Homo-oligomer: A and B are copies of this chain.
Amino acid sequence: MSDQEAPLRNGVEHKIFEVLPFVDDDYGGVIVEMKTPMDTKTFVAALRDSFEQWRLQGKKGVWLNLPLSHVNLVEPAVKEGFRYHHAEPTYLMLVYWIPEAESTIPLNASHRVRVGAVVLNHNKEEKYGSLCGSGIWKIPTGVVDEGEEIFAAAIREVKEETGIDTEFLEILAFCQTHESFFAKSDLFFVCLLRPTSFDIQKQDLEIEAAQWMRFEDSASQPITHKNDLFKDIHHICSMKMEKSYSGFSKKPITTFFDDKLGYLYLNKQEDMEKPSS
């Protein structure tokens, strides 16, 4: 603490404490990022002083990022009114909404995203499947990582499970379900890929076996008939082999307001004729 005379603000004596390290966000709020260790008493004092400053500045949301190493500050932060927002293995993000008006704090991520990959080889007669524990041959599937493109995840999963290199063609369909993982929802994208290498080398320990399968053999497994999604995927693949189905292909774009790079998935319909209008 400074030993200079405490200044008067609004006529009230005001002590100078260490203010927490923060940066402004783009929405009228601040993000506090704790970097050096701090004991709880110093933290609470600095937090209260910081709040006084933020209120005067008309700040809205206060984000508090506490790395695992600052776990001692979680309880005091909650007691000062913070609520959990989201967490990752190495940090917990808490948030406090200052204004009287309704909070515009964005919701946490709500969906897990997965891909399933159908790989049709150059004869367009075969696709490959992999054997999971239950004796069922299934297409390679996996979770899309944070920051990973959907098409890249499909290519990666096929490589990991079978050693085959592929090229992304289309998203054939996708499926949304709920409560797949605690309260979170799930989006499952069925991707069509073209192989650029053909020798299967099973790599993933969770897979019992991997092989090229005749499309008909894969479709004739009992599970395919018992399960809506399997049945629909096979039906779509049949139509695709007859060139009578259009999925969504990818196109790099820049986005709405922030000019970020992204991918748009849309029906490019190269082989569909435009009717005259």
* A interface residues, Cβ below 8 angstroms from B: 68, 71-72, 74-75, 78-79, 83-93, 106-113, 143-150, 172-185, 187, 227-230, 232, 236, 239, 242-248, 251, 253-256, 260-267, 269, 272, 274-275, 277
Contact = CB atoms under 8 A, between A and B. Distances in A.
A87 B78 contact: no
A76 to B, nearest CB: 9
Contacts of A242: 274-275, 277
Nearest to A141: B256
Contact of A75 (B75, B86, B183, B247): B75
Nearest to A67: B84
Contacts of A107: 112, 143, 145-146
- Count identical subunits in the complex: 2
Nearest to A247: B267
Question: Which of A91, A174, A263: most chain B CB closer than 10 A?
Answer: A174
Contacts of A177: 255, 260-262
Contact of A228 (B180, B253, B277): B253
Contact of A175 (B143, B172, B255, B275): B255
21 contacts: A68-B83, A84-B90, A85-B89, A86-B87, A86-B108, A87-B108, A88-B108, A109-B110, A111-B113, A147-B178, A175-B253, A177-B260, A179-B260, A228-B253, A229-B256, A229-B264, A232-B251, A232-B253, A232-B264, A236-B266, A247-B267
Given A84-B91, A87-B86, A275-B243, A184 B229 contact: no
Given A173-B264, A229-B254, A264-B173, A183 B88 contact: yes
Contact of A112 (B106, B147, B248): B106
Contact of A260 (B111, B112, B178, B265): B178
A188 to B, nearest CB: 8
Given A87-B87, A176-B262, A229-B255, A109 B184 contact: yes
Contacts of A174: 248, 264-265
Contacts of A179: 147, 260
Given A146-B183, A236-B266, 4 more contacts: A87-B93, A108-B112, A175-B265, A228-B253
Contacts of A110: 109, 111-113, 143-146
Nearest first, the 6 A-B pairs at minimum CB distance are A177-B262, A173-B266, A228-B253, A84-B87, A87-B87, A110-B146
A274 B89 CA distance: 50
A90 B274 CA distance: 53
Given A109-B110, A264-B174, A89 B83 contact: yes
A272 B244 contact: yes
